[in-house]
């Protein structure tokens, strides 16, 4: 049985933990045992749950540290890493820009979109301009200097959010000019650029589409759509089913932006014309990755097989499911935790345990 050594970064976060779940699911439940994944996780702090659910781990510097890339190279060499999954948005651009350096000095392959794709997706105004230019399903948006005309055309409420940033940070629904001015000033004081966007009202008609594209950027290997039911910005219930209209526009967008690897597209239906509109594009795997795995689309495994084995993959079918998320806990022996925290070893091992309450 062949061992594939995988590096997953930022394992304290929900995206990386979804990648780990999918790789471990492949190890545990797939009948084909020709290979298995041996996982090295990284994070910047010790109290990150994902560190204790992988085979071994290492604490590393933040990506803005000048030694970050060299530390990744050293880890890859020391642990014979075959493939790297980037688990955070902050690290994504750094890995993409240094992909050639890392891959030339190690045996590792980085699963990442090209830098230009990441740059378009990281800036929400650039995303809007890309969608509009390519006649894709965009949400009307503007910068603050065009807000007066924009409000005349679209009215209140509107969404105000940073062009930069990730997740739901500093996103506000504003109902009048005073709230608009306050929301934009908060974002500007943070050093970011505000984006004003038409508000699509129906929270119950939001979707996420996960697409994988082969390493040559030629063919879609898998495509799956989930209807999201949100709580505090996160998917806490999900309906995995066939949504052909959502799938079609998402695949068109992935092809037009020339994605390679994984891309995740967030959409919401505009009640005015009943058309799905693209909220944002994330040039990476999604936090809903393990849901897709259970439905039959194991995106990390698909990407690994294509990257390492040159497999031509085309998965068109998946199971329709309802997913209900809930909180769970993982536990560590405190003495063992303190001991390993003070260890001088570069790569460490400590297993947490999970109680099967149900």
Give the gyration radius of the chain's Cα atoms. 21
- Closest residue by Cα to residue 100 from 90, 78, 115, 85: 115
Q: Using 50, 70 and 90 to split pLDDT, how confident is the model at 163?
A: very high
- Domain range 202-324, CATH class: alpha beta
- Fold designation for 2-112+328-341: Rossmann fold (3.40.50)
Contacts of 58 (CB under 8 A, 6+ apart): 40, 41, 42, 75, 346, 347, 348
Cis amide linkage into residue 59, ω under 30° from 0:
no
CATH architecture of 141-198: 2-Layer Sandwich (3.30)
Q: Please report the pLDDT score of residue 97 as a whole number.
A: 94
User: What integer is the mean pLDDT of 102-112?
Assistant: 98
Task: Tell me the pTM.
Answer: 0.95
pLDDT for residue 149 is more than 80: yes
Q: pLDDT per residue over 269-313, tens digit each?
A: 999 999 999 999 999 999 999 999 999 999 999 999 999 999 999
Residue written as tokens 């949100």? 230
Mapped onto helix, strand or coil, the DSSP state of residue 306 is helix
Q: Report whether 25 contacts 36 (CB < 8 A).
A: no
Side-chain-side CA neighbours of residue 54 (13 Å): 31
pLDDT for residue 167 is more than 80: no
Q: What are the sequence ranges of the domains in the chain?
A: 2-112+328-341, 141-198, 202-324
- Closest residue by Cα to residue 213 from 263, 284, 278: 263
Kindly state the helix (H) or strand (E) to which residue 281 belongs, with its residue range. Answer: strand 275-282
Q: Please report the pLDDT score of residue 232 as a whole number.
A: 74
Q: Report whether 124 contacts 146 (CB < 8 A).
A: no
- Closest residue by Cα to residue 266 from 252, 282, 244: 282
Cα-Cα end-to-end distance for the chain = 34
């Amino acid at each position: 049985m062949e061992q594939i050594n995988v590096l997953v970064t930022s394992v304290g976060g929900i995206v990386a933990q979804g990648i780990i779940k999918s790789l471990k699911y492949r190890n545990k439940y797939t009948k084909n045992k020709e290979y298995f994944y041996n996982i090295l996780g990284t994070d910047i702090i010790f109290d990150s749950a994902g560190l204790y659910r992988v085979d071994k781990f290492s604490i590393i510097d933040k990506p803005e540290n000048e030694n970050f890339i060299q530390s990744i190279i050293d880890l890859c060499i020391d642990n014979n890493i075959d493939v790297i999954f980037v688990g955070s948005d902050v690290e994504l651009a750094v890995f993409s820009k240094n992909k050639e350096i890392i891959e030339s000095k190690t045996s590792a392959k980085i699963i990442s979109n090209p830098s230009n794709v990441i740059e378009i997706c990281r800036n929400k105004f650039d995303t809007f301009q890309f969608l509009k230019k390519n006649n894709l399903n965009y949400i009307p948006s503007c910068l603050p200097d065009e807000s007066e005309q924009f409000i005349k055309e679209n009215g209140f409420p509107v969404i105000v959010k940073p062009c930069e940033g990730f997740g739901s940070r500093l996103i506000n629904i504003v109902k009048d000019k005073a709230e608009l001015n306050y929301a934009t000033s908060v974002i500007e004081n943070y050093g970011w650029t505000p984006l004003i966007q038409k508000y699509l009202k129906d929270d119950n008609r939001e979707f996420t589409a996960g697409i994988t594209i082969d390493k040559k950027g030629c063919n879609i290997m898998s495509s799956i759509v989930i209807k999201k039911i949100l709580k505090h910005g996160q998917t806490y219930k999900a309906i995995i089913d066939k949504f052909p209209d959502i799938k079609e526009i998402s695949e068109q967008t992935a092809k037009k932006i020339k994605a390679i690897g994984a891309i995740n597209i967030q959409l919401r239906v505009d009640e005015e014309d009943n058309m799905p509109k693209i909220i944002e594009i994330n040039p990476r795997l999604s936090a809903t990755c393990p849901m897709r795995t259970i439905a039959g689309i194991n995106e990390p495994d698909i990407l690994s097989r294509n990257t390492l084995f040159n497999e031509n993959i085309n998965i068109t079918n998946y199971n329709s499911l309802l997913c209900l998320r809930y909180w769970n806990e993982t536990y560590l022996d405190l003495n063992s935790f303190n001991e390993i925290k003070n260890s001088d070893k570069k790569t460490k091992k400590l297993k947490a345990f999970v109680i099967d309450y149900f």
